[in-house]
Chain A
Amino acid sequence: MKRVDLILSERELDAVIKAIEAAGAPGYSVMRHVTGKGPHGAVSEAMDFSGLGANAHVIVFCEPPLLPRLREGIQPLLDYYGGVAYVSEADPL
């Protein structure tokens, strides 16, 4: 089992979720209002009123064969808008 962690702007969350669903992932979890620091400085909720919110953290657990399809859908979005994604091993409890 693999775990994919994505950190991206909430603004692009819908597009990334679409790509995850299109890849056939069995499910995902989303944490909104993620703050921190990015290449353009602090990431905060200060501009939430304008629709430019903070970041989101998306976690996907999937089998290894799904990874290429996930990469194909998500990588162009991250390249264009920014954001990071990392894959790690996940062992069931």
Chain B
Amino acid sequence: MDTSLVLQNLLTPPVLFFFLGVLAVLVGSDLEIPAPLPKLFSLYLLLAIGFKGGLELQHSGVGGPVLPTIAAAVAMSLLVPLYSFAVLRLKLDGFNAAAIAATYGSISAVTFITAESFLETQKLHFDGFMVAALALMESPAIVVGLLLVKLAAPKPAQQRPDPQSMRWGAVLHEALLNSSVFLLVGSLVIGFLVAGSSPHSVEKMLPFTDKLFYGVLSFFLLDMGIVAAQRLTDLRRAGTFLIAFSVLMPLFNALVGALIARALGLDPGNALLFVVLCASASYIAVPAAMRMTVPEANPSFYISTALGLTFPFNIIVGIPLYMALVNKLLPAAA
């Protein structure tokens, strides 16, 4: 792998601010971001990325690789939880295995956004339709997670005390209408509509969705650094198996993703985003959904693995590593 790619990724404000957050915890600083702000930042990032994706989707249209890429993305979000579950069942009970499998089948929007920033520094083009893939990969894994609980969890799962929360209506509501999916898809649709009908209003939105974006991402990653470092203790408790899983499973998913990107004939920028979607794990939508559908699972397992290890791994080492993989596997990239 080209080490300059890693260095270029490391020496960007979002990644450096992430390290600053980690450092704050490690040295015992009292640095703290008040709770409503990270929520506001995450909503802003979803709105901005959805809106920009919608604008670009309007310009690029839905022909060419768009629909096959989206279909492949959804297929991966169904497939990843299945084989992850099989691996996790080697050491974990059905509840925890299902919750972690769902977490790895879904995606991390912030890792995706960081990968977009990386592509911008590399001056590599990517398309808005990848945001649609991002939005559509969030929910299927939640449904698969619940199916896995129903099918493979130990017997008491059949006699769970609150059948209300296990109703398909409630689960689908949570999977499809949770705030991050709702805002992302809604902003994508608004961007798409506005780009076609009212270009002058796009100009008015740009100072908000474009100029502030990088700064907000850096600030959000500062908070993520703090939260991830606070999770390190939980990670130690999770044990060697889960620690290894948190690094090796994203690498395997990235390899599968890169091969699919090659088969789809994606260009390097879109291929990297596709690989990042496959390799990332959700720590926003899925943990909240798993809390509702699988309260028997230990949240410190599925949050700590996704947020404490996989997320930092992806934004620090993963993105440049996946770029090198894309450059190696895609003929066009070379």
Binding site for B on A (CB under 8 A): 9, 11, 33, 40-41, 44-54, 76-77, 79-82
A40 in contact with B295 (CB, 8 Å): no
Q: For B300, what are the chain A residues with a Cβ–Cβ distance below 8 Å? A: 40-41
B41 in contact with A49 (CB, 8 Å): yes
B35 in contact with A50 (CB, 8 Å): no
A11 in contact with B288 (CB, 8 Å): yes
Q: List 30 A-B contacts (CB under 8 A).
A: A9-B291, A11-B291, A40-B300, A41-B300, A44-B230, A46-B35, A46-B226, A46-B227, A46-B230, A47-B227, A47-B303, A48-B35, A48-B36, A49-B38, A49-B39, A49-B223, A50-B285, A50-B287, A51-B284, A51-B288, A52-B299, A52-B303, A76-B162, A80-B160, A80-B161, A80-B162, A80-B165, A80-B295, A81-B295, A82-B295
Smallest CB–CB gap between A84 and chain B, Å? 15
Chain A CB within 8 A of B327 CB: no
Bound form: Cα–Cα A80–B39 in Å: 27
Tell whether A50 pairs with B288 under 8 Å between CB atoms, given A40-B300, A81-B295.
yes
Q: For A45, what are the chain B residues with a Cβ–Cβ distance below 8 Å? A: 35
Q: For B234, what are the chain A residues with a Cβ–Cβ distance below 8 Å? A: 41
Contact digits for B135-165, partner A, Cβ 8 Å, 1 yes 0 no: 0000000000000000000000000111001
A50 (CB) vs chain B CBs: closest residue: B284
B298 in contact with A47 (CB, 8 Å): no
Q: For B298, what are the chain A residues with a Cβ–Cβ distance below 8 Å? A: 40
A9 (CB) vs chain B CBs: closest residue: B291
Contact digits for B17-47, partner A, Cβ 8 Å, 1 yes 0 no: 0000000000000000001101101100000
Chain A CB within 8 A of B178 CB: yes
Chain B, 156-183, CB within 8 A of any chain A CB: 160-162, 165, 178-179
Q: For B288, what are the chain A residues with a Cβ–Cβ distance below 8 Å? A: 11, 50-52
Bound form: Cα–Cα A45–B38 in Å: 10
Smallest CB–CB gap between A73 and chain B, Å? 12
Bound form: Cα–Cα A47–B165 in Å: 22
Q: For A33, what are the chain B residues with a Cβ–Cβ distance below 8 Å? A: 35
